[in-house]
Structure 1
Amino acid sequence: MEYRKLGISELELSTITYGAFAIGGNMWGGNEKKDSIDSIHASIDHCVTTIDTAPFYGFGLSEEMIGEALKSHDRSKVQLLTKFGLVWDGSSNGKGDFFFDADDNGKKVPVYKYSSKENVIKEIEESLKRLKTDYIDLLQIHWPDSTTPISETMEAVDTLIQQGKIRTFGVSNYSIPQIQEAQKTVQIASNQVAYSMLNRKIETDLIPFTAAENIGIIAYSPMERGLLTGKYFIDSKLKENDHRNGYFGQFDLQKVKTLVEELSSLANTKHISISQLVLRWTTLQKGISIVLAGARNAEQAISNAKTMDFDLSVSELEFINQAISKLK
């Protein structure tokens, strides 16, 4: 495994970081608790030291399972990344930005982006309890909330830093102007944003800005929620309550299928999986600090961890980039 410093912070994170969205179950067609916890153990056992989660993932379930799994590991050797700002339990009382209706076992649950000072403090106390820890290594605002001044949110964050409840702070899904406003109050270590072979929008403006400001980029959805594994093209049946039924519709699936087939030929010659090839390519892109990789069982977790066991040559990168260019 390779470890990288996150922006201007003192955090050293595993380049492949365990992404815990899917194990929460909601929006992913459910989950298997034992498999999920086994995947966390397997990741740590294979040198993945960093875990990224959020209260919204499984409405607290993801954090709870991580807390349970970490009871048998040395907390000081694991970096916990979590978030705040997505409220689903009605505690915002209708305040904040309405985001969408999430599915909870067939029941619609309204989700709001809400980051008032009071709510930030409340959420962190709840996360600490679920994670069974007394500090968070990297706290992140999940999504911008247009109804709360950024300065108010950052004041709450600064208080948490002073209290020792968080080591450092990052944002997620923030624009350049939003980062600049947040920086007036709190030092920003990172911005967690969507980035993949199919979505490279941040390369134009955001990455040059964060590189100049020494702000790390945490890439989420590098596999486009499993689409780039190629499995969808073999068995396209997803559970009815799986959000990917709609999510995949944004892509030209025939072009993606062609890309997957071309990448598979290279993966086969290197005796690696296409998932490992895609993740490794992502880790090598300019400005990317760490890459989130989800796993729903130990086998997937081990495969993700082994991504850093091989390299890609200049000619192999050129082959991959040429294949990606055909998507346009």
Structure 2
Amino acid sequence: MTNSYVRENINTSRKRMEVACLDMLQFHWWDYSNPGYLDALKHLTDLKEEGKIKTLALTNFDTEHLHIILENKIPIVSNQVQHSVVDMRPQQRMAELCQLTGVKLMTYGTVMGGLLSEKFLDTNLSIPFAGPPLNTPSLQKYKRMVDAWGGWSLFQNLLQTMKKVASKHGVAIPTVAVRYILDQSSVAGSMVGVRLGLAEHIKDTNAVFSLNLDEEDLNSITEASKKGRDLMKVIGDCGDEYRA
């Protein structure tokens, strides 16, 4: 990965956005066997020092390679990873490293494309047309995560637990789902997707900021979550689902 190639692409982004400095550059790399990611990040660090990038971040890097990057003095501020009450992998090896280094986690998949909602509570997807359709790529993806974690019946148990917590606080299941992850170690923020004109989630998302889960809430959700399989053992570390 050459310096000129990296500079050319960053300059293209700056020109398209009509800014002198990119606020954040999130970097992803598919193939760990190709060490070019370190070269690219070193070139990006040079651009940061020149004032063309404000902060450097990663997307879907695992703990081992985040550690390698930090050992090479690359100033990473965050790593964007999949994290939900079903997928608690980031709270294993990744969170420990983040605590030691100050790197923060930005999470996605926190409401699992909408599966973590009242819409899918008390439904049976094994019966054709009996439940809501899995009509988006996200729903289909996270249904596979549910299957890997423990299946639909166990997921219903989790939804029922979260519904009890949500009803206690007068909010919806997605609000509880996001708040629970925001309360986890090293998590700085969580992204909730929208479908403009179809599902914008403004009310539920705003409610996250005033929701305080107490110890009883956290313990009940954690207990329900732990009834499923450890996805670290099933899939691997953060981002490994994209590199299998």
Bin for the TM-score computed over the shorter chain: 0.7 to 0.9
Which structure dedicates a bigger proportion of its chain to strand? Answer: 1
CA contact (8 A) 2:115 2:142 kept: no
Answering whether residue 47 of structure 2 is matched by residue 154 of structure 1, we say no
Q: Is the contact between residue 222 and residue 291 of structure 1 (CA under 8 Å) also seen in structure 2?
A: yes
TM-score by length of 1: 0.58
Q: Distance in 2 between matches of 1:129 and 1:201?
A: 38
Match status 1:189 vs 2:98: no
Instruction: Say which SS state the counterpart of residue 326 (structure 1) adopts.
Output: coil
* Structure 2 residue aligned with 1:167: 54
Given candidates 10, 13, 19, the residue that maps to 1:133 is 19
Contact 1:120 1:153 in 2 (8 A): yes
Counterpart of 2:224, as a letter, is A
Contact 2:55 2:77 in 1 (8 A): yes
Q: Which amino acid aligns with 1:158?
A: T
Q: Which amino acid aligns with 2:133?
A: K
The residue number in structure 2 matching 1:213 is 101
- Could you say which structure has the higher helix fraction? 2
Unaligned runs of 5+ in 1: 1-114
> C-alpha deviations, 1:37-91, integer Å up to 9, x for none?
xxxxxxxxxxxxxxxxxxxxxxxxxxxxxxxxxxxxxxxxxxxxxxxxxxxxxxx
Residue 152 of structure 1: CA displacement? 1.3
Q: Distance in 2 between matches of 1:221 and 1:246?
A: 10
Q: Is this contact kept in 2: 1:151–1:185, CA < 8 A?
A: no
| Count of residues paired in the alignment | 213
Q: Which amino acid aligns with 2:44?
A: V
Distance 1:279 1:290 in 2: 9
Distance 2:177 2:100 in 1: 26
Which has the higher mean CA deviation after the structures are superposed, 174-183 or 267-276? 174-183
* Structure 2 gap segments, 5+ residues each: 124-130, 230-244
Equivalent of 1:278, from 157, 177, 181?
Answer: 177
- How far apart are residue 275 of structure 1 and its match? 0.5
Moved more, 242-251 or 194-203: 242-251
Structure 2 distance, partners of 1:256, 1:143, is 32
Q: Which residue of 1 aligns with 2:145?
A: 250
Kindly tell me: are residues 185 and 266 of structure 1, through their superposed partners in 2, closer, same or farther at Cα, counting changes over 3 Å? closer
AA aligned to 2:65 is Q
Determine the structure 2 residue equivalent to 1:55. none
The aligned residue for residue 104 of structure 1 is none
Q: Distance in 1 between matches of 2:202 and 2:17?
A: 20
Q: Which moved more, 1:280-289 or 1:301-310?
A: 301-310
Q: Is the 8 A contact 2:56 2:75 kept in 1?
A: yes
Q: CA shift at 1:197, angstroms? A: 0.7
Q: Quick one: distance in 1 between partners of 2:213 and 2:79?
A: 26
Distance 2:186 2:20 in 1: 31
Equivalent-residue separation in structure 2 for 1:127 and 1:182 (angstroms):
23
Q: Is the 2:118–2:172 contact (alpha carbons within 8 Å) kept by the matching residues of 1? A: no
- Tell me the C-alpha RMSD between the 2 structures: 2.5
Deviation of 1:121 after TM superposition, in Å, equals 3.3
Residues 246 and 219 of structure 1, relative CA distance in 2, 3 Å threshold: closer
Post-superposition offset of 1:226? 1.8
Match of 1:91 in 2: none
TM-score computed with the length of structure 2 as normaliser: 0.75
The 8 Å contact of residues 222 and 293 in structure 1, kept in 2 or not, is answered as yes
Change (3 A) 1:144 1:185: farther
> Which SS does the other structure have where 1:225 is aligned?
helix
**For residue 212 of structure 2, what is the aligned residue in structure 1?**
311
Alignment CA distance shift 1:200-1:131 (3 Å): same
